[in-house]
A and B are shown apart, each in its own frame.
Chain A
Amino acid sequence: MARPPFLTPREHAVVAAACDRLIPPEENSPGAAAAGAADYIDGLLGAFLVDPPRVWAGGPFSGRGGGEASFHRFLPLSPLEELAWRTRIEGSRGRPEREWNGPVVGLQERYREGLAALGDDFAGMAAEEQDRRLDGAGDFARLLYQHACEATYGAPEYGGNRDLAGWRAIDFPGDVLPRGWTDAEVRDP
């Protein structure tokens, strides 16, 4: 990915290992790590390390169902949209222009703290120990799971669902426009 990373290599390894406990690799399923969950999360946390930021993929077509591929061209944000997404990702950090309803804890801080609590050594731990630590991680484990699901089963342009592994495992075709489906494909078993 031609983008400076947000997560340190060690944090990246912890995210990957933790996501793999939530969506584990199996014979017919890639697992979240192989699907690129850590890259997906890094892409979100570091969305503003590139311009346009990696918040909204472009449109109208992915190119996987015909037409010209355009999801990879991320959309620019307006000033207010940038304010919202910087606040969401970076937190309000005491800046008055981000605190119209009080302080906001950003995703970056939640990850930094959550990963620290899982432990630097998390990736090297046995599965039982990893599960024990995740069980104790509360809201952060729920956040990780949400992001692991988005990464594994969302559009690959965000850095997850690598080689469409997430969709292939569940036989989901993803975006099929502009080709779409024929009447018979819609109606028949």
Chain B
Amino acid sequence: MPPVTPDADADAVVVGSGPGGATAADVLTAAGWDVVVLEKGPNRLLELEAPYALKGDLSNDEIKLWFRWFLGPDPLLEPRTYRRTEADGDHLLVGEVNNLPSGVGGGAIHADAKMPRFREDDFRPLSRWGPMEGAALADWPVGYDELEAYYAEAEVLVGVEGEVGANPYASWRSSPFPMPPGPDMYGAVVSAAAAERLGYHPYRAPTAINTVAYDGRPACTNCGFCGGYGCPIGAKGDPLGPLRRALGTGRCHLRPRSTVTEIVLDGTGRRARGVRYLDEAGVLHEVTARHVVLAGGAFETPRLLLRNGLANSSGLVGRNLTFHFQTFVAGGFPFRLHPHRGRVVTHLHDDLLVPTEADLSAARAAGLPWIRGGVVEHGAGPGPVMEALAYPPGPVHNQLMRESVARDRLWVFTMQGEDMPQPTNRVDLDPVVRDVHGLPAGRVTYQPHGHETFASAHWAPALESVLREAGATWTDVSTSPPPDPARAGPLGVAPVSRHVMGTCRMGVDPATSVVDPLGRFHDVENMVCADSSVFVTSTGYNPTLTIVALALRACRHLVGDPLPPTGPAGGLSPGAGPGSSRR
């Protein structure tokens, strides 16, 4: 091991600069704390000196972003491995597995930033819906009513646009969205109208994208290169806004290309003294701090803890890994939809998260006590290089490209299906594969529960009907992960959902959870988790607003400044309940 170079002595050291880590840095520096943020990836986002201008390295370049790992992690330097079950041996796949970006800003700069809140029921799946065999279902130790104040603050801090009252299923809210919705994409105008005709309730997606100038950043100009790209003009607020604010206090010291390898405990073995990290040259540094905040994401946080053999008296670190079980329903249209104009996804519908009596009886007939689907995103397909690769080479290629059946005339519903927590689904350490630092690679062992495969198959035909109602002449259904790995499509065998959750679940009882209801590790008193590792269940919603809300809550409690509770009484638009029932 190289010698250790002393670095800073801080109030808190934060591991990771994605939505969770950036939020922690924002809250803690605002309270006057001195914070060191260590980020293993590069900085493509913003200058680290005032006025924290955009670096200008992000661009609408499909080659750089989709084929050359510009936002990393490079699968040669940081391979991950995947297997479905132990029966697959050490691993089935090595290299690119669920590559959530690594760099300043984490996965969020790359996201298209749909930011829905969860609903009241999402926090109490066990008491609302009941147990499910083979699933480690539990209620969350925090409810919507308690989290609402933090949701409201999160929407202001990252800048979320949206429309109060548009989603009849939404839970109550204490304040309006800080920005009005942006323009609807033409494809979504078509698909949302069809969904409404069939009795569903599409609404304009709450999104962390500026629709007007906000927080010193410009309005989005609808460039079309959004999901999978960073915003070259800085119109996505998460986590650019929080990082700029934290840096602006002068108390946030952000160090890119700094890989935390070790959490150092003090003599008691119950408190962290700080962390050690490797810089790019391989020099090992130590930051001492009063508090340690882990926000490496739900894949890297358990990998770090397992390597350190820490915080795992429950044996649950890395377990109950959830993704969203993604069902992609594509529709081919006889007319062009220009999906390259706009923010990629502008509409959602929540109907499939609230099963009808017919859905429930179908589930029971299949031997399941209940099913829930997930939020349905109405969105654009791929860029032209990806499109081209979907077609065969040779004589048919040009005509397919000109007709653009798989891009300009394609519209896709993605259902982010709720994924049951299963202890056997987990992140652990690969016994053989190493990263460039010589550290064991993280390994995913994951297989969906019968719940999500049934729910996917149950609702896919309904989504196909909507696309046909919208005018599609053909539809096609695929899922990630695929039902049969031997017939995996271009998305591959491993789950591609970039929603990764559950690997340090929160709870009251240290025997059945890794962190307490405020994100503090049961086994390490002054260490907090601020990423989606703490999620108890996956729900069927995009996770990031909830990551930010929980990080706000954990860190505000850390500095002794929790938000006063809000209440439904004076709230806006409690979900009026869907008016019509769907066919």
Contact = CB atoms under 8 A, between A and B. Distances in A.
Contacts of A187: 183-186, 189
A67 to B, nearest CB: 9
Which of A58, A65, A180 counts the most B-chain CB atoms under 10 A from its CB? A180
Interface in A135-180: 141, 145-146, 148-150, 152-155, 158, 166-167, 169-180
A155 B384 contact: no
Given A57-B63, A175-B225, A84 B335 contact: no
A22 B61 contact: no
A70 B59 CA distance: 9
Contact of B394 (A21, A153, A173): A21
A60 B68 contact: no
Residues of A in contact with B, size category: 35 or more
B232 A152 contact: no
Contacts of B393: 21-23, 141, 145, 148
B74 to A, nearest CB: 5
Contacts of A174: 60
Contacts of A155: 61-64
A80 B279 CA distance: 11
Interface of B is mostly: loop
A126 interface: no
Given A29-B398, A78-B280, A61 B232 contact: yes
B280 A152 contact: no
B341 A154 contact: no
B243 to A, nearest CB: 18
Given A101-B79, A153-B384, A23 B397 contact: yes
B1 interface: no
B389 A186 contact: no
Interface in B46-61: 54, 56-61
B76 interface: yes
Nearest to B404: A170
A154 B184 CA distance: 27
B576 interface: no
B280 A71 contact: no
Contacts of B64: 56-57, 155
B58 A60 contact: yes
A62 B63 CA distance: 14
Contacts of B338: 185
Contacts of A180: 220-223
Contact of B77 (A55, A84, A170, A179): A84
B436 interface: yes
Interface string A1-25: 0000000000000000000011110
B59 A71 contact: yes
A22 B397 contact: yes
A87 B54 CA distance: 31
Contacts of B74: 81, 84
A169 B63 contact: no
Contact of B402 (A23, A62, A101, A169): A169
A189 B57 CA distance: 33
Contacts, number: 179
Given A60-B59, A170-B402, A24 B70 contact: no
B93 to A, nearest CB: 14
A178 B60 CA distance: 10
Contact of B67 (A150, A177, A189): A150
A141 B434 CA distance: 30
Contacts of B401: 29, 153, 169-170
B237 interface: no
A74 B335 CA distance: 38
Interface string A83-126: 11001100000000000110010000000000000000000000
Interface in A36-89: 55-62, 65, 70-71, 75, 78-81, 83-84, 87-88
Contacts of A28: 398, 402
B280 A146 contact: no
A107 B281 CA distance: 26
Given A100-B434, A153-B388, A175 B60 contact: yes
Interface string B180-215: 001111100100000000000000000000000000
Interface string B391-428: 00111011001101000100000000000000000000
A128 interface: no
Interface in B310-353: 335, 338, 340-342
A59 B42 CA distance: 16
Given A150-B385, A155-B63, A172-B340, A186 B398 contact: no
Given A60-B58, A71-B59, A145-B393, A177 B340 contact: no
Contacts of A172: 340, 384, 408
A109 to B, nearest CB: 15
B222 A186 contact: yes
Contact of B388 (A24, A100, A101, A152): A152
Nearest to B256: A78
B276 interface: no
Interface of A: 21-24, 26, 28-29, 55-62, 65, 70-71, 75, 78-81, 83-84, 87-88, 100-101, 104, 131, 141, 145-146, 148-150, 152-155, 158, 166-167, 169-189
24 contacts: A22-B394, A23-B393, A55-B68, A57-B61, A59-B58, A60-B233, A71-B61, A81-B74, A101-B94, A149-B389, A150-B63, A153-B383, A154-B62, A155-B62, A175-B61, A176-B223, A178-B221, A178-B232, A180-B223, A181-B224, A185-B222, A186-B185, A188-B186, A189-B335
Given A57-B64, A175-B225, A178-B221, 18 more contacts: A57-B61, A58-B57, A58-B59, A59-B59, A59-B232, A79-B281, A84-B74, A88-B76, A104-B76, A152-B388, A153-B385, A154-B61, A154-B63, A170-B401, A178-B233, A180-B221, A186-B342, A189-B335
A-B pairs, top 8 by smallest CB distance, nearest first, are A180-B221, A59-B59, A60-B232, A22-B393, A149-B388, A183-B183, A29-B398, A175-B60
